[in-house]
């Protein structure tokens, strides 16, 4: 007799080859195995508690499930496409091991609540791992900032040189974006931290399932309120993919800056050899591939978010088979985001800064023109609009003659306006002074940089505490 499906009772014919090939998810959802087994162990303990399994039956089931986990861990487990998904693969192996007893495990449970639970457990554990990596990245930013409170580089708007900034300020600007990412991933963790088992297929179950017991046993913080909603919604995945997309967008901007700043025209930064590649034809090349790949992966991650949103849109409640496809974008994003965090961290740690090249651009870009105008206002009593005009003419003259604000002779300045020959001119265009005058909270002055590094460290301490607390909560 042909082997029957676990759900094959009411069928006369087995599924076609197409049905098997289109329906299988084992090729990707095996990723969930440890969480599936964890959920099943708790479920079996709960079944014992409510008198459906005897103590020895439960023990055998738990031992069998642990053995299956070891088989999968070690790569010995044989996944069969006929078993459709990870849930049925584990259950059918359990039945192989325990005979009819294995068939008792699915009492009071549906794959609809099971898969939703597995994914929540998976997200929790992956978010924990992501937060560990992110904490590392945050420390890398701070380390780089501390090494460069004195270094001055150009700050841009419209990719036109705008004003001098401390390099520490620049590194910390990316740090704070990643702090928000960290906090958003904490929110993802909270969102996923819910017990949905007991929801059954959609309506609840015909057994006295002890959901509070399951909640505690799985170290979850709350129980879903509505069984229909519990098996229908994928908000925890949306939220994960959004947090991931936001992180990728943040770091794609840094990657773009790395690509620009390591190019010959800028040369502010250099990446270490181990993070770059050569060209098979052009011997002189050193390409910033890590930065480019992460920039490229950003599209992939945003695509995953779009994939999921569109997949769920307009589907009627509750579960629909479409949802089986939710795992592909999720798993892929987990991998891409981890790689990307590590990649950014290594670039941050490895960047070498070349202040002399930054200085060349700062001069070329007339980066202290605003400071000069402000000095005309404050020291010389010239109205701002007129000061703007005078400095504008000075810049025009310099550009035409190939000067910058630092090397234009005093006599030529005097032709534009007598006030520009004042001895205060030099100090007014100084890069250091320009930075240090931005002495507002959050500004680029040296002292504010020192202050901001302290604040950044305090933030990392606060976030590390939160991470520790979820790490200890996760441990049963």
Residues that bind ligand ARG (CB under 6 A): 25, 29, 85, 111-112, 115, 319, 321, 323-324
Pick from 187, 148, 147, 182: nearest CA to 165: 148
Q: 74, 158, 280, 472: which one is catalytic?
A: 158
Task: Decide whether 37 or 420 has the Cβ nearer to ligand ARG.
Answer: 37
Strands 160-166 and 352-353: unpaired
Q: At closest approach, how far in Å is the CB of 319 from ligand ARG?
A: 6
Nearest to ligand ARG of 31, 190 (CB atom):
31
- Of 110 and 139, the one with the shorter C-beta distance to ligand ARG is 110
Q: Is 279 a catalytic residue?
A: yes
3-state secondary structure (DSSP) of residue 290: helix
**Nearest-10 Cα torsion for 25, 26, 29, 31:** -160
Residues making up the chain, counted from first to last: 476
Residue 196 Cβ vs ligand ARG, minimum distance, rounded to whole Å: 13
Question: Residue 473 and residue 470: Cα distance in Å, rounded?
Answer: 5
Structure tokens at 115: 């898969």
Which alpha helices (H) appear in 74-110, and where do they start and end?
86-98
Give the list of residues 6+ apart from residue 195 with CB closer than 8 angstroms, or none: 117, 211, 214, 215, 218, 220, 222, 223, 224
Taking the least distance from each CB to ligand ARG, the nearer of 23 and 474 is 23
**Whole-number minimum distance, CB 325 to ligand ARG, in Å?**
8
Q: Token pair of 396, please? A: 């025009």
Cβ–Cβ under 8 Å, residues 118 and 43: no
Phi, psi of 22 (to 5 degrees): -80, -25
Nearest of 203, 42, 31 to residue 123 by alpha carbon = 31
Shortest Å distance, C-beta 276 to ligand ARG: 41
Cα angle value 33/38/123 (rounded, 5°): 65
Q: How far is the CB of 25 from ligand ARG (least distance, A)?
A: 5
Q: Which is nearer to ligand ARG, 6 or 349 (CB)?
A: 6
E strand intervals along 339-399: 352-353
Burial 446-459 (b: 16+ CB within 10 A, else e): bebbeebbeebeeb
Q: Give the active site residue among 16, 279, 410, 469.
A: 279
Whose Cβ is closer to ligand ARG: residue 106's or residue 111's?
A: 111
Q: Nearest 5°: phi and psi at 158?
A: 55, 25
DSSP string across 69-83: HHHHHTT-----GGG
- What is the smallest separation between the CB atom of 34 and ligand ARG, expressed in angstroms? 16
- Which residue's CB is nearer to ligand ARG, number 111 or number 295? 111
Half-sphere exposure of 384 (CA within 13 A, CB side): 3
Cβ of residue 29: shortest distance to ligand ARG, in angstroms? 6
Catalytic residues: 158, 279
């Amino acid at each position: 007799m042909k082997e029957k499906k676990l759900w094959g009772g009411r069928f006369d014919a087995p599924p076609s080859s197409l049905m098997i090939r289109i329906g299988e998810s084992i090729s990707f959802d095996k990723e969930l195995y440890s969480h599936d087994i964890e959920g099943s162990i708790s479920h079996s303990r709960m079944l014992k508690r409510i008198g459906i399994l005897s103590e020895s039956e439960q023990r055998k089931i738990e031992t069998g499930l642990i053995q299956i986990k070891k088989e999968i861990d070690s790569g010995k487990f044989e996944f069969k496409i006929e078993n459709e998904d990870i849930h049925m693969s584990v259950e059918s192996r359990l039945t192989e091991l325990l005979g009819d007893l294995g068939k008792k495990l699915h009492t009071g449970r549906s794959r609809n609540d099971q898969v939703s639970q597995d994914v929540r457990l998976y997200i929790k554990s992956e978010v924990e791992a992501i937060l560990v990596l992110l904490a590392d990245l945050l420390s890398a930013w701070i380390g780089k900032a501390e090494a460069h409170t004195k270094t001055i580089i150009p700050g841009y708007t419209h990719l036109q040189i705008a004003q001098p900034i401390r390099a520490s300020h620049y590194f910390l600007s990316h740090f704070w974006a990643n702090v928000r990412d960290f906090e958003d991933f904490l929110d993802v963790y909270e969102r996923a931290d819910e017990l949905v088992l007991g929801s059954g297929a959609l309506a609840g179950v015909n057994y006295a399932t002890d959901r509070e017991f399951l909640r505690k046993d799985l170290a979850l913080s709350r129980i879903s309120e509505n069984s229909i909603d519990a098996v229908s919604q994928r908000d925890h995945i949306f939220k994960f993919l959004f947090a991931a997309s936001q992180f990728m967008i943040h770091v794609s901007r840094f990657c773009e800056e790395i690509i620009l700043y390591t190019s010959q025209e800028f040369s502010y930064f250099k990446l270490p050899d181990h993070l770059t590649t050569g060209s098979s034809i052009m011997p002189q090349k050193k390409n910033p591939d890590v930065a480019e790949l992460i920039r490229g992966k950003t599209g992939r991650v945003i695509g995953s978010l779009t994939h999921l949103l569109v997949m769920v849109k307009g589907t009627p409640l509750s579960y629909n088979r479409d949802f089986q496809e939710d795992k592909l974008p999720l798993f892929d994003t987990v991998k891409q985001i981890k790689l990307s965090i590590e990649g950014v961290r290594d670039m941050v740690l490895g960047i070498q800064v070349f202040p002399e090249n930054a200085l060349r651009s700062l001069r070329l870009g007339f980066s202290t023109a605003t400071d000069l105008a402000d000095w005309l206002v404050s020291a010389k009593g010239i109205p701002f609009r007129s000061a703007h005009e005078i400095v504008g003419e000075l810049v025009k003259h310099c550009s035409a003659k190939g000067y910058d604000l630092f090397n234009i002779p005093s006599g030529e300045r005097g032709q534009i306006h007598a006030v520009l020959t004042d001895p205060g001119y030099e100090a007014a265009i100084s890069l250091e002074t320009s930075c240090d005058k931005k002495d507002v909270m959050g500004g680029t002055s040296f002292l504010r940089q020192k202050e901001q590094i302290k604040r950044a460290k305090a933030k990392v301490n606060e976030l590390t505490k939160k991470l520790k607390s979820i790490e200890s909560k996760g441990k049963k």
